[in-house]
Chain A
Amino acid sequence: MKKLFAIALVVCILMAGCTDTKSRSTGVYMLLDTSGTYAVELKKAQLILNYLLGVLAPGDTLAVARIDTGSFSEKDIVAKVTFDERPSVANNQKRAFMQQLETFVTSVKGSPYTDISGGILQAIEYLNEAESGKKYILIFSDLKEELAKGYKRDIPFQLPDYNVIALNVTKLRGDNMDPKEYLTRVDDWRSKVEKGGGEWGMINDLERLDNIFAN
């Protein structure tokens, strides 16, 4: 029996020594465009976030930030959480997170400008700190960036190991008249992300949300 206990002890020590939490976790940072008419689309964003809450597992990180005039700021983070390792606690955290989002969506005010680049920079900073194994930046926006006077966002992104996915990229009135504008806008973002070493993706059909974590 002593031998058995010794073996069990060694196994426990090995288990404690070999455990690896960070590198396998998923980190998701979702940017919500609150500018102009896009604010009305936030109900859809809520559905996406509900899907994410259902999919993310204990140990994963989720943060939601809004895109406004100056998005490179912690103040724009609406809600953030790293789920506990215990499923029951994680479930309670998910409920609380959902409540926070509900409050935000009902009380959000539209912003005059759209600083998407600032939001991405903030997302990179946040997810790097979270040390998640798989990193996702979800951009819920029409991808039309409008910077206020004095804001400079000509910094190249550092996105190795990142998946940047644009969600619900709606067509603007001008896009309908000249689709080239829409395509150019999407291509610009794609090239920015890919130049930074990231993977680019776009999902407009919310029925295909399971493609978010396809990579």
Chain B
Amino acid sequence: MTFANMLNITSSPALSILIWIVLFLLALYFARRPFHQAIMSFSKIIRNALRLTAAAVLSAEQRLVLRNREVLMAAGLENAERKVEREFDRIAAAVTRDLDGYPNVHRQLSEVIIKLDEDYTTSADVPPSLPNWMPIIESIAKIEHSGDSMVANMLAEINRSLTEQNKKAIEDYRNSTAARHGILNKMMPFWRKVQKSLESISGTIDNIKKRAKTVDRTINEYEKIRTGSDESARALSTSALTQFAIAGLVLLIAIGGALINFNLIALPMSEMVGGASYIGPFKTSDVAGLVIILVELTMGLFLMESLRITRLFPIIGAMDDKMRHRMIIVTFTLLAILAGVESALAFMRDRIAHDMEVLRQTLAGAEQMGLPPSIIPTVGQMVLGFILPFALAFVAIPLEMFVASARTVLGAGAAWLLRLMAFLLRLLGNIGFYLGRFIVNVYDLAIFPAIWLEGIIMATRGKKVDLPEAGDPEESQLVEEAVDSYDETIQIKEQQE
């Protein structure tokens, strides 16, 4: 039936249109409830499906967060262990260095103290005293004489003897005191020696005390991390972010160095492996140059591992010291050889570049102009070629930091993405649900004359208008609750179990 035929069901097209509108509204009115139910069911399917997915994503995010926390704590514990281990190593070194000779110091001190004791004993000798009869003579000398010359002479003689004895006693006393002072003077260096030895021991003990304090502090940190406190988790997380940024920056610098290194050896490598062959889309000479740089990096990595500076390969760190020392020698030798090779390649590069330049000038018909070639760029390139491999060896340190912190940072990033995804899923679910309601309301708006008439008819009959709600009364509360959050999902799962 064409549109023209539809307008011809009555003689008046306007009447025909009116009839068709009425019929259409009636059809929509009768289809209203099933349409509402279909739309609402569909919108709920969308919402519940998306919210369930969101809950699953949130659950995954929670698991990831837990794993991240475990990784973070494990890294923090390992770091604290390393710190404690390092402090103990330092203490051991200090003890070995300073207190290893303590028995010797102790013996020296004992000897010096014995000597001092002897000297002290010697210096403590009592000075010679006056003879015992001196007070008697002194008493006699003080007797008043009556003028008898004989008595006077005798008393004068006694007085002279007494004076002489007194002088002698004073002289002896002075000599004795001088001798004791001499002994005490000789004791001074020994005292100083004792003082120096004791100061040295005191310094060592102070150093050990400081180390012990550091160990205490680190052990406290270790304890905090072990208990898994939020404070330590936050501190470790911030530390990991900082380490990630710094290590990333240093790695970028290292990549720059590697590129310069590559440019130094790519051209001369074509002299060795040919400049016209390709491996896939890459020149063989370029690949060979890259391989040399990567081998240098690997050697640097092994060297750092052997020196126990990094711990990317636990098997190397766990080797016995003899084997480790051998590995240090081997890797260092290989690195030195490669550095020598690079230096030679840098020299060759300079020669080839110069030859090419001369050829270009010849082809261009230009005469050789300017200063004669200087040796400085050649030497500079050679030195650079020799130093860069060793410099690249230290990449192992930021690389280890980067790898360790990347686990935390990437984990946090992934958790954030999952949270965002969960939010978007919930948002989409809600949009889908309210879109369904919106469609239902628009449907009702389109057939409002029929609903209006229904209202009038129902009012005349004294009945309440049955306006169907957009929501479904038989909706499952379980599903609503289950998708609200991760915790609730877990609770409901437990109830179901």
Task: List residues of A whose CB falls within 8 A of some B CB.
Answer: 1, 11, 14-15, 18-21, 24-25, 50-51, 53-54, 57-60, 83, 85-88, 90-91, 94-95, 98
Is residue B485 within 8 Å, beta carbon to beta carbon, of the partner chain?
no
**In the complex, A54 Cα to B362 Cα: how many Å?**
10
**In the complex, A58 Cα to B369 Cα: how many Å?**
27
Contact B355 A91 (CB under 8 A): yes
Measured CB to CB, the closest approach of chain B to A21, in angstroms, equals: 5
**In the complex, A21 Cα to B274 Cα: how many Å?**
9
Question: B293-311, CB under 8 A of A: which get 1 and which 0?
Answer: 0000000000000000000
Is residue B64 within 8 Å, beta carbon to beta carbon, of the partner chain?
no
* CB nearest neighbor in B for A86: B271
Contact A88 B277 (CB under 8 A): no
Task: List residues of B whose CB falls within 8 A of some A CB.
Answer: 267, 270-271, 274-280, 284, 287-288, 291, 330, 351-352, 355-356, 359-360, 362-365
Measured CB to CB, the closest approach of chain A to B110, in angstroms, equals: 55
Contact A54 B277 (CB under 8 A): no
* CB nearest neighbor in B for A52: B363
Contact A86 B287 (CB under 8 A): no
Contact B275 A11 (CB under 8 A): no
Contact for A91 among B277, B278, B279, B356, CB less than 8 A: B356
Measured CB to CB, the closest approach of chain B to A56, in angstroms, equals: 11
**In the complex, A25 Cα to B276 Cα: how many Å?**
7
A85 with B277, Cβ < 8 A, contacts A58-B270, A91-B355 known: yes
Contact A87 B270 (CB under 8 A): yes
Contact B363 A87 (CB under 8 A): no
Inter-chain pairs besides A50-B364, A58-B274, 8 sampled, C-beta below 8 Å: A11-B291, A14-B279, A15-B287, A21-B274, A57-B276, A59-B275, A59-B277, A87-B271
Contact A85 B274 (CB under 8 A): yes
Residues on A with beta carbons closer than 8 Å to the beta carbon of B271 = 86-88
Main SS of chain A's interface residues? helix
> What are 15 contact pairs spanning A and B, CB under 8 A?
A21-B277, A21-B278, A50-B365, A53-B359, A59-B274, A59-B275, A83-B276, A86-B271, A87-B270, A87-B352, A88-B271, A88-B352, A91-B355, A91-B359, A94-B359
Residues on B with beta carbons closer than 8 Å to the beta carbon of A90 = 275
* Pairs of residues from A and B, 5 with the lowest C-beta to C-beta distance, nearest first: A59-B276, A85-B274, A19-B277, A58-B275, A50-B363
**In the complex, A18 Cα to B288 Cα: how many Å?**
13
Measured CB to CB, the closest approach of chain A to B376, in angstroms, equals: 23
A87 with B267, Cβ < 8 A, contacts A50-B365, A54-B360 known: yes
Measured CB to CB, the closest approach of chain A to B450, in angstroms, equals: 73
Contact A88 B355 (CB under 8 A): yes
**In the complex, A179 Cα to B275 Cα: how many Å?**
47
Residues on A with beta carbons closer than 8 Å to the beta carbon of B274 = 19, 21, 58-59, 85-86
Residues on B with beta carbons closer than 8 Å to the beta carbon of A95 = 359, 362
Measured CB to CB, the closest approach of chain A to B419, in angstroms, equals: 42
Residues on A with beta carbons closer than 8 Å to the beta carbon of B284 = 15, 19
* CB nearest neighbor in B for A51: B363
Contact A86 B275 (CB under 8 A): yes
**In the complex, A21 Cα to B316 Cα: how many Å?**
42
Measured CB to CB, the closest approach of chain A to B277, in angstroms, equals: 4
Residues on B with beta carbons closer than 8 Å to the beta carbon of A94 = 359, 363
Measured CB to CB, the closest approach of chain B to A22, in angstroms, equals: 9
Contact for A18 among B270, B279, B363, CB less than 8 A: B279
Contact A58 B276 (CB under 8 A): yes
Residues on B with beta carbons closer than 8 Å to the beta carbon of A25 = 276
Contact A85 B276 (CB under 8 A): yes
**In the complex, A58 Cα to B365 Cα: how many Å?**
22
Count chain B CB atoms within 10 A of each CB in A1, A58, A87, A98 and give the residue with the most. A87
Contact A54 B363 (CB under 8 A): yes
**In the complex, A57 Cα to B330 Cα: how many Å?**
39
**In the complex, A204 Cα to B489 Cα: how many Å?**
79
Count chain B CB atoms within 10 A of each CB in A51, A58, A83 and give the residue with the most. A58
Count chain A CB atoms within 10 A of each CB in B270, B274, B277, B351 and give the residue with the most. B277
**In the complex, A98 Cα to B362 Cα: how many Å?**
10
